[in-house]
Amino acid sequence: MKNTRTNLSDSDTRREAIVEAALVAFAKAGFASTPVTAVAAGAGISQAYVFKLFPTKEELFVAAVERCYERIEETLERSAAAAEGRSPDEILDQMGEGYADLIADRTIIMIQVHAQGASDIPAIREVVRRGLARIVRFTKQRSGASDDAVQRFIAFGQLCHLITTTDIYEFDDDWARIVARNIRH
């Protein structure tokens, strides 16, 4: 007789491996260009098993985007904790520093870019909206900052995406210095 607890654990472990592999694979090539076989290979399991746990590619992508927002919130929490007792603006600054460190490897930033690019698909648009809502609410609550300050924080985050994904910081030109001024990326 099989131990169902072990099977559940194996299933949970494989689910985690699949989501992690999906995060990396989709960050590299996006939703449309990433075959599920690439995710399966990254997780070290069969494509059939991926489809057993995630019946559609869309569900798999949504799970990867959800994981992205979990990582962002975890990073913001660690950063805010490091600034405990400081002003809301200082907490936001610390959160921004943590986020800049998080997106240094480009996986988290690129999954967001690809999710926004595929937001014509309702389920993907919805996961992006939920993720953004989660981050805005968390940032507001954890920092104690004003609505305007939180909006600026999110806006600078999006500007940081633009600077990072297009390597604007590599240009020694007026326009690039204006765009990247005072932003660590």
Question: 32 near 118, Cβ under 8 Å?
Answer: yes
Read off the pLDDT of residues 63-109 as tens digits, 9 standing for 90 and up. 999 999 999 999 999 999 999 999 999 999 999 999 999 998 899 99
Domain encompassing residue 67? 4-180
Q: Residue ranges of the alpha helices (H) in the chain?
A: 4-33, 36-43, 47-53, 57-82, 88-102, 107-117, 122-143, 147-165, 174-180
Residue 44 domain flag: yes
Q: At residue 7, does pLDDT exceed 50?
A: no
Distance from the Cα of residue 156 to its chain's centroid: 16
Question: 111 near 26, Cβ under 8 Å?
Answer: yes
Residue 33 domain flag: yes
Residue 139 domain flag: yes
Query: The pTM is what?
Result: 0.89
Residue 185 domain flag: no
Residue 81 domain flag: yes
Read off the pLDDT of residues 100-156 as tens digits, 9 standing for 90 and up. 999 988 999 999 999 999 999 999 999 999 999 999 999 999 999 999 999 999 999
| Tally of structural domains, the chain | 1
What CATH number should be reported for the domain holding residue 144?
1.10.357.10
Residue 147 domain flag: yes
Structure tokens at 118: 């595929």
